Structure 1
């Protein structure tokens, strides 16, 4: 009886297909450490965002309280901004290097008119001739009589200059937008305080009186 050696299975130590892969402890530890790092970074990011949100909210409340309790400051800021816009618009209109861009001339003309109207609206009524001009402006531009209208008007002026993509005009435009937001904050906070006072008065009138 002859036995063929070729029919007997022999394990080849150099045959990679029959070798079982053993788990590498270093790779497992590396995966765990990377996941821990990612979780730590995500937690730190969430905490930073939460703290930033709290800071922004507290700052907004502080600005809102300052604006409500100092409305005359906003009026002064608006008057100064209108004078700055008027001066810059006149200088830019007289600049001969802007001939190549006629659209800038048109914007400067509009901004001069807007700045003059806003400056008169924010001026002191005790100045000579201001009261008469204010009556004309408030008759033609009725939205400037309330804080909401002035705020939207200031934001509109600011956005016109922010869209010019120049540093100084963009800076003044951002300033106007901030003052406009201040006016809008005054409008809504005063409106909310008036509503709350009306509700309190209504409740007090309807509450039954207790007789002793």
Structure 2
């Protein structure tokens, strides 16, 4: 690690420490408990999310191989479809990895969640979201969070500030919304990839005969 990177990391940690010192006791307690629930929910979803991520990959590869062997419009359409599917798969894989990393240290996540609440102009409203999280995680935890955050008026400045929190930002807007969108897109990608692979097989058979 370079001296510049160490310096930046030290500065960032000091900034987080200064902000954490301003968080009131009630918010800090709720945030730490919410972080524990979120960390548990994410770990439970670790393997189901991996299955969701991996399911379309064989069909994407089959479409890629068959499209590469095709000619003309079929080749172009097939490669475009593969590129689109691969983009969704890669985006979901990156987001999944970052969320798993974000919950690796629940205490640090709790600290950042407390900071996120304290930065809001409506502390009571934002803290109530973390309180609602304590009622349970479940496999719909991200959809629940998105719905809860949608009921709170948030400023552009707040969104920009929490975007600098490396862990908490994945559990607040706007990233919580894109996470849900990526998960839904990945779910739809499974039947879509099967259809694309099947069409590629049909096109290949038609070309052969």
Q: TM-score over 0.5 for the alignment?
A: no
TM range (shorter): 0.3 to 0.5
The two structures have a TM-score, normalised by structure 1, of 0.33
The two structures have a TM-score, normalised by structure 2, of 0.34
Which structure has the bigger radius of gyration?
Answer: 1
